[in-house]
Amino acid sequence: MEQKWWKEKVAYQIYPKSFMDSNDDGIGDIQGIISKLDYLQQLGIDLIWLNPIYKSGTADNGYDVIDYYEIMEQFGNHEDFDKLVREAKKRGIGIMLDLILNHTSNKHKWFLEALNNPNSKYRDYYIIRKGNNHRPPNNWRSIFGGSIWQEIGSSNEFYLHSFAKEQPDLNWENPEVRQELYKMINWWIARGVKGFRLDAINCIKKSDFSEQGIPDAADGLCNCFKYIREVDGVEEYYKELRQNTFDKYDCLTVTEAVGVEKEKLGNYIGENGNFSMMFNFDITYIDVINEDWFRRTNWTKKEFKQKFIESQLNIKNLGWQAQFIENHDQPRAVNKYIKDETQINYYSKTMLAVMYFFVKGTPFIYQGQEIGMENFKRKSIDEFDDINSISQYKRAIKEGYTSEQALEFINKRSRDNARTPMQWSDEANAGFSKVQPWIKLNENYKNINLRQDQKSDKSIFNFYKQMINLRKTSKYSNTIIYGDFEPIDIQDDEIIAYRRKDENYDLKIICNFSNKEKELNLKYEEVILNNYNEASNILKPYQAIIVL
Ligand code: NOJ
Ligand code: CA
């Protein structure tokens, strides 16, 4: 397995709006991040992925970009950003940005020009088609609900938006659009950015618009994934993109590409892949069908285990993945994967951590995960900020669910669960800000916060630190990073076990994914990580161990 600098790192994801507020306006900002760099260094991470900091219309919290070259005023300015890059570098930390190449904001100057002037060249920067007597060109549903098409005034001309109507899709068929994007990326690389996360990158090519889908819900529309994700030939764009940008600088790239089939993984990673790594989404949506939050599955541990192991076997000889259990689009992992709320505790949190942290790939930690932050239940739909939560709520109602049921679906899956402010202490506003934050704090912050956690003998933060040290600076580092992955065949769906192995060590990672004691028929000599004080041949509830 080829050695690469980015394989050996641990990354941390920051949602800038909710990380740390430096100037008491209730909104997290770049200076706030700078003030916490020592904390992140102490944790041991090497890379920070920042969710979008560009000037944006905030319809989708930064993912509707008005100007790729400007920084959102609330977050700071270019000086702040340069300082962040410098200060992070001093601590051995690199900065990664989010690249939103599939769409812009409807307030981007290109789009405004396109609308204001039908003869302008910017018209072809977007995807605009004639409708049918004011009806959209087809019946595809956008990812945030409603038709994927929006009529321009009453012109019978429609633009395509894969996400919200405030996020018109760029036309990648137009070479000028592509060149504009490459130029912008290179400009950020020159500013000292070490890598990028590529938003919705497998959506940049669309299939033939004449195709109507079979309606699959009460709104009479059909899910668009089939038509806008992984469309044949999309990899040609990837290749041109990287050749014009990242390749020249040994830049780290990690894709957000959901729904890539096994046969196509090679377009992304490995010898002929176009990116450094891809986020592993194989278990992320195990609880819902087609990302419709009201279509809940009854997933089992058996299915979970199968998916988890298979996911590793699919890539182990192919390429590199970015491993994660939380991000800004997902509920907190412990709430998603531990179905019984009474079992949400230090042990289940650290067990989930061990499970994903030691497979092959670069681990990403989402802010707050390292102190065991949890979902936040809201009592009414008015309390939500996330555009997708509101849309999913409306869709659930349309499907015939009651408002209580709809609220329950949204509470389980809302992206706001991960977007509540970071809980630094039990002081006012959780130490995030001196004023009331832009989004409601999780009410549990008096009990769950960094200061409290660090004082406890069951500190989740300390456990993450231990995991990071083991991976980065122990004698097992090479085995953990580059060693082979092999599942350990244990006939119990509630035990997830695998080995990481090379010529020096044979590490066994064993996780009890249950609150029951489990007998373990496996001999070992030395325990190198354990979320309990002792280890025996009986695994304790949610015990996780790494042994030799
Ligand atoms: C994926 C991002 O992670 C999500 O937050 C965003 O809403 C969509 N892409 C659209 O950019
Ligand atoms: Ca602020």
- Mean pLDDT of the 395-418 span: 98
163 Cα nearest atom in ligand 1? 10
According to DSSP, the β-strands at 544-547 and 527-530 are: antiparallel
CA 106/CA 11 separation, integer angstroms: 32
**What percent of the chain is modeled with pLDDT above 70?**
100
DSSP, collapsed to helix, strand or coil, labels residue 443 as helix
Closest ligand to C-alpha of residue 98 is 1
Q: Provide the residue type at 105 as one letter.
A: S
Q: Which two tokens mark 505? A: 């060590």
What is the DSSP code (8-state) at residue 111? H
Question: Does the residue 467 lie in any domain?
Answer: no
Distances from the Cα of 536 to the Cαs of 181, 497, 507, 526, in angstroms? 56, 16, 17, 11
CA 513/CA 464 separation, integer angstroms: 18
Q: What is the distance in angstroms between the CA of the first residue and the CA of the last residue of the chain?
A: 22
CA 112/CA 90 separation, integer angstroms: 41
Query: Is residue 329 within 6 Å of ligand 1 at its C-beta?
Result: yes
pLDDT of residue 263: 96
- Mean pLDDT of the 248-266 span: 97
Q: Any idea what the Cα angle at residue 292 is, between residues 237 and 267, rounded to 5°?
A: 20
Question: Does the residue 152 lie in any domain?
Answer: no
What pLDDT digit, counting tens, does each position of 153-200 carry?
999 999 999 999 999 999 999 999 999 999 999 999 999 999 999 999
Q: What's the farthest any 2 CA atoms get from each other in the chain?
A: 75
Query: Is residue 97 within 6 Å of ligand 1 at its C-beta?
Result: no
Residues 500, 534 share a domain:
yes
What's the distance, CA 429 to chain centroid? Answer: 25
Strand partners, 147: 141
Question: Does the residue 363 lie in any domain?
Answer: yes
Q: What is the mean pLDDT of the chain?
A: 98
Closest ligand to C-alpha of residue 421 is 2
Residue 369: band (very low, low, confident or very high) from pLDDT cuts 50, 70, 90:
very high
CB atoms near residue 377 (< 10 Å): 15
- Choice from 327, 329, 416 to test ligand 1 binding pocket (greatest atom count within 8 A of CB): 329
Among the listed residues 491, 484, 502, 496, the one whose alpha carbon sits nearest the alpha carbon of residue 546: 496
Q: Which two tokens mark 483? A: 């060693």
pLDDT of residue 214: 97
- Mean pLDDT of the 305-312 span: 98
Question: Does the residue 445 lie in any domain?
Answer: yes
Strand partners, 289: 292
Active site (catalytic) residues? 199, 256
Q: Which two tokens mark 519? A: 């007998």
For the four alpha carbons of 318, 322, 327 and 333, in that order, the dihedral sign comes to positive
The Å distance, Cα 61 to ligand 1 centre, comes to 9
What is the total count of domains within the chain?
2
Residues 91, 208 share a domain:
yes
CA 20/CA 26 separation, integer angstroms: 9
Q: Which two tokens mark 133? A: 């007597």
Q: Which two tokens mark 205? A: 């090519």
Among the listed residues 67, 64, 58, the one whose alpha carbon sits nearest the alpha carbon of residue 27: 58
Query: Is residue 292 within 6 Å of ligand 1 at its C-beta?
Result: no
Residues 198, 52 share a domain:
yes
- Mean pLDDT of the 322-338 span: 98
Residues 330, 446 share a domain:
yes
CA 99/CA 200 separation, integer angstroms: 9
pLDDT of residue 489: 96
Helices and strands, number each (H, E), in the chain: 15, 24
What pLDDT digit, counting tens, does each position of 216-227 carry?
999 999 999 999
What pLDDT digit, counting tens, does each position of 500-509 carry?
999 999 999 9
What pLDDT digit, counting tens, does each position of 109-140 carry?
999 999 999 999 999 999 999 999 999 999 99
Residues 181, 68 share a domain:
yes
Question: Does the residue 279 lie in any domain?
Answer: yes
Edge-to-edge order in the sheet of strand 484-487: 484-487, 495-501, 506-512, 544-547, 527-530
- Choice from 56, 102, 162, 163 to test ligand 1 binding pocket (greatest atom count within 8 A of CB): 163
Q: Whose CA is nearest to atom 10 of ligand 1?
A: 63
Edge-to-edge order in the sheet of strand 128-130: 128-130, 157-160, 149-151
Of 411, 428, 462, the domain-final residue: 462
Are 482 and 9 within 8 A, CB to CB?
no
Q: Which two tokens mark 184? A: 């912008």
Residues 529, 403 share a domain:
no
pLDDT of residue 1: 74
The Å distance, Cα 97 to ligand 1 centre, comes to 14
Q: What percent helix, strand, coil does the chain show, rounded to 5?
A: 35, 20, 45
Are 104 and 181 within 8 A, CB to CB?
no
Residues 443, 535 share a domain:
no
Residues 398, 253 share a domain:
yes
- Choice from 15, 51, 56, 63 to test ligand 1 binding pocket (greatest atom count within 8 A of CB): 63
pLDDT of residue 281: 98
Residue 212: band (very low, low, confident or very high) from pLDDT cuts 50, 70, 90:
very high
CATH number at residue 506: 2.60.40.1180
**What percent of the chain is modeled with pLDDT above 90?**
99
Among the listed residues 162, 191, 151, the one whose alpha carbon sits nearest the alpha carbon of residue 104: 162
- Mean pLDDT of the 380-398 span: 98
Closest ligand to C-alpha of residue 23 is 2
Q: Provide the residue type at 508 as one letter.
A: K
Q: Whose CA is nearest to atom 11 of ligand 1?
A: 63
**Residue 67 pLDDT > 90, yes or no?**
yes
- Mean pLDDT of the 4-20 span: 98
Question: Does the residue 246 lie in any domain?
Answer: yes
Question: Does the residue 469 lie in any domain?
Answer: no
pLDDT of residue 42: 98
Distances from the Cα of 134 to the Cαs of 59, 139, 151, 404, in angstroms? 25, 13, 7, 35
Q: Whose CA is nearest to atom 3 of ligand 1?
A: 329
CATH number at residue 408: 3.20.20.80
What pLDDT digit, counting tens, does each position of 135-165 carry?
999 999 999 999 999 999 999 999 999 999 9
Residues 434, 526 share a domain:
no
Residues 18, 55 share a domain:
yes
Residues 491, 450 share a domain:
no
Residues 505, 440 share a domain:
no
Domain of residue 525 covers: 485-547
Are 278 and 260 within 8 A, CB to CB?
yes
Question: Does the residue 142 lie in any domain?
Answer: no
**Residue 527 pLDDT > 90, yes or no?**
yes
Strand partners, 132: 135
